[in-house]
Amino acid sequence: MSQSQTSSASATPYPATGCGAVIPSEEVDRSCRYPILFLALSSTGWLLLATVLNFLATLKFHKPDILADMGWLTYGRVHPAGMNCLIYGFAIQAGLAVVLWVFADLGKTKLAYAPLTVVGWLLWNVGITLGVAGILYGDSTGYEWLEMPRYGVAFALVGYIQIALSALATFHLRRVRTLSISHWFMVTALFWFPWIYTTAAYLLLIGAPVRGVLQYNVDSWYFNNLTNIVLGFIGLGTAFYFVPTISKRPLNNFYTGIFIFVALIAFGTWSRIPAGTPLPAWFSAYGALGALTTIAPALAVLYVVFSTRCRCSELSVEHRYIQRFVVFGSLAYAASTLISAVNSTFWFSEVTHFTWFVPANNLLFIYGFAVMSIFCGLYYVLPRVLGGNFPSTKLIVIHFFLAAAGIFFYAVPLLVGGITQGHGLNNASVPFITVMTQTLMPLRASTLGDMLMAAGHLAFALNLFGLVFETMSHTATTTVEELTRVEVAS
């Protein structure tokens, strides 16, 4: 099957209408080279920084006095800085790199306004740098996942809008007009992020803050939309593109993808409103209904991915493990959605709401699904835009197993330990110090998970830097040979 056929494998069954000559895949990849390379390298740097900060935050549960004399490295600053590095520095930035290439490849057109994308990349990273530095300095806003101060966010938003405009222009100028289900998810994610960020941060929490307990609810609304829609739709768009592309078979089936999209837009935007929130009771009831309703699209995601994927024996080792990233991500997506649905009920939430259960499930969704899906996209896209191959297939295999094991050892102990912790906190006869002591074992197991994920990140970074070095060396050698040939001919 040709590359043009496989890249549109997840498209709609409706006929396409031409819009100019289709551009060869080599030219499409070449037009994406530098924007995607810059986004991938900088996002990898943020991933490594997030790894260091999150590991340092974890160590403080075992040795609280570590670096305690340095105010900017206390847990209250290190933990939010690490999460912002992971979400904004890596996940969204690397996700944008995948979105740019998918739009160009599906449309068989060159990346539109590539210089604008590079400027947007620069502004985005300046903004994240200022924001993370502000958090470590103590200038945090205090709102979860909205901690970055306004001066950092301003740069980041302008940069994001420039990158998104390039992606949308590429989508508009596509030569192959057939719409893919990946288009639906990714275009929605592009529009959704600036809307929820400006609404939550600038309009309701920082610019003209709402009063009292409503601030918590606005922050919960932002958190829910960032995970379920922005990161979730980037992950789903990535999964629904690369699974059929790697398997060289059509997505099974397109209409199930439409059902997933509509159901998540209708119910996923308000599905994580916690039970017992300081609002009228019907508000939490609707949140629980939304969470329970998302079980159906989560199971549909599993059905689409597993019915489309190719058997491992039919793939090369590299493609086999690239596919496994997104297959693992779909399992994590379904598991996290089911856990959220159960946790939305009042009888369960009253036990787990203020425990490690909730952060464990959040990481299962963000890292287990969104980040793992983005890794799949990067492993597939980068060799094509750089014109080379990853130097080590073994490092891809090692990265997958380390990341999967890390997520398991992080999430499962904290999910189980969170339930035990919640029962202890709700039992007045159990001293608080006893509850905290019982939580140490799950925390130690989660530290093992952090270490495994950190090793996986290092394997990914080494492979990426090796790919870039080999590509640059090959380009330099080719250039020298061409110059020598010209001099000899003259």
The arithmetic mean of pLDDT across residues 405-413, rounded, is 97
pLDDT exceeds cutoff 50 at 6: no
SS3 helix, strand, coil % of the chain, rounded to 5? 80, 0, 20
The arithmetic mean of pLDDT across residues 393-413, rounded, is 97
Q: What is the pLDDT of residues 166-184, one digit of tens each?
A: 999 999 999 999 999 999 9
Q: Which residue is it, tokens 């969704």?
A: 365
What distance in Å separates the CA atoms of residue 242 and residue 247, rounded to the nearest whole number?
A: 8
The arithmetic mean of pLDDT across residues 130-156, rounded, is 94
Q: Give pLDDT, residue 8.
A: 42
- List CB contacts of 347: < 8 A, sequence separation 6 or more: none
Between the CA of residue 490 and those of 477, 478, 481, 485, 487, what are the distances in Å?
Answer: 20, 18, 14, 9, 5
Q: What is the pLDDT of residues 30-48, one digit of tens each?
A: 999 999 999 999 999 999 9
The arithmetic mean of pLDDT across residues 250-264, rounded, is 92
Q: What φ, ψ does residue 158 adopt, rounded to 5°?
A: -65, -45
pTM: 0.93
CA-angle at 87, arms to 400 and 397, nearest 5°: 10
Quickly state the pLDDT bin for 364 (edges 50, 70, 90).
very high
Q: Are the C-beta atoms of residues 286 and 292 closer than 8 Å to each other?
A: no
Q: What is the pLDDT of residues 51-65, one digit of tens each?
A: 999 999 999 888 888
Say whether domain 23-252+356-489 belongs to CATH 3.90.180.10.
no
> For 71-85, 250-264, 278-292, which range has the lowest pLDDT when averaged over its residues?
278-292
